[in-house]
């Protein structure tokens, strides 16, 4: 009986964490560049239940296996492309990417699933590469984001909405030249920012630091749409190249990739599952009360 009580309690904790994850996604539906988080659950190891044998034979009879509960194993980000929203703001930049990989065994494009993952016949897990802007936090550390809603300060520095410096392809913060405003800057698909010189000729003033993260699930979420990388080698980060199927769109922002309808369904499902486990605990509580106060009295 106590085993069932613990199983129901673990189910309540798991559904609470699932509910919190979905609530976080719903709260960030209008956050530019936000990537949905999915809660991954896993069952406790199976327990083998056996019937004790009698004294004559000494053998045991296997009854079966029992799973003693479930727990929230981890929260994984979904890096699916969000819709682009036109803002007509020169300091807004959206990333469009549909990067793919070629399977060397079949020489065909790898069919990634909705989460951007593919498992080979040998059990190897391959993730779809994703592109990110590079920014610098207050401690001088490099971070990555899909939120391209930038602004320019009085010194001409290109900053995020959180005040982090936007890095160029050379790894240094982007600072516009004196007399050059962001409205005079045009960006191409690779993030090259150009403006006209005194003779009216286009000149590259900076290049946005757009990188390709070949294993985006190595990114660690820090909040406000910013990620860090603890293992750079495992993430396998490189600069965006012309042949990559990705581009920068000026005057656009990438919307959140949260599926509102699915999020509401998941929210209700988590609530109903939580209530079901709660009723089981109440049932076990009443059963234990009877076992102690009534059966024990007899």
Whole-number pLDDT of residue 264? 93
Q: Which pairs from 121-130 meet CB under 8 Å and 24+ separation?
A: 126/101, 127/214, 127/215, 127/216, 127/217, 128/79, 128/99, 128/100, 128/101, 128/216, 129/99, 129/101, 129/212, 129/213, 129/214, 129/215, 129/216, 130/79, 130/97, 130/99, 130/212, 130/213, 130/216
Whole-number pLDDT of residue 55? 57
Strands, E assignment, 120-251: 125-127, 130-136, 142-145, 151-152, 158-159, 165-166, 186-187, 192-196, 202-207, 210-213, 219-223, 226-229, 237-239, 246-250
Whole-number pLDDT of residue 298? 54
Whole-number pLDDT of residue 287? 84
Whole-number pLDDT of residue 285? 83
At 57-81, the pLDDT tens digits run: 656 667 777 777 787 777 888 888 8
- For the chain, give the number of residues: 298
Residues in the chain, pLDDT under 50: none
Q: What percent of the chain has pLDDT over 90?
A: 42
Whole-number pLDDT of residue 7? 84
At 242-285, the pLDDT tens digits run: 888 899 999 999 999 999 999 999 999 999 999 998 998 888 88
């Amino acid at each position: 009986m106590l085993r069932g009580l613990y199983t129901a309690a673990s189910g309540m904790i798991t559904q609470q964490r699932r509910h919190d994850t979905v609530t976080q996604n719903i709260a960030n539906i209008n956050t530019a560049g936000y990537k949905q988080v999915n809660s991954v659950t896993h069952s406790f190891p199976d327990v083998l239940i056996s019937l004790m044998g009698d004294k004559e034979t000494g053998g045991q009879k296997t009854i079966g296996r029992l799973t003693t509960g479930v727990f929230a194993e981890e929260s994984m980000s979904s890096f699916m492309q969000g819709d682009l929203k036109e803002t007509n703001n020169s300091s807004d930049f959206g990333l469009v990417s549909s990067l793919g990989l070629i399977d060397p065994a079949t020489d065909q494009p790898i069919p990634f699933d909705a989460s951007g993952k593919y498992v080979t016949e040998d059990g190897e897990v391959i993730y779809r590469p994703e592109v990110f802007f590079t920014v610098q936090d207050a401690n001088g550390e490099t971070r990555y984001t899909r939120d391209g809603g930038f602004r320019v300060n009085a010194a001409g520095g290109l900053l995020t909405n959180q005040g982090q410096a936007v890095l160029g392809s050379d790894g240094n913060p982007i600072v516009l030249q004196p007399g050059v405003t962001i409205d005079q800057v045009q960006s191409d698909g690779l993030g090259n920012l150009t403006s006209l010189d005194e003779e009216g000729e286009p000149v590259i003033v900076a290049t946005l630091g757009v990188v390709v993260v070949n294993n985006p699930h190595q990114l660690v979420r820090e909040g406000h749409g910013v990620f860090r990388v603890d293992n750079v080698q495992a993430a396998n980060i490189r600069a965006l190249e012309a042949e990559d199927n990705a581009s920068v769109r000026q005057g656009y922002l990438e919307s959140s990739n949260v599926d509102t309808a699915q999020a509401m369904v998941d929210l209700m499902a988590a609530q109903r599952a939580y209530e079901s486990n709660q009723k089981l605990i109440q049932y076990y509580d009443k059963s234990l009360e009877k076992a102690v106060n009534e059966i024990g009295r007899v």
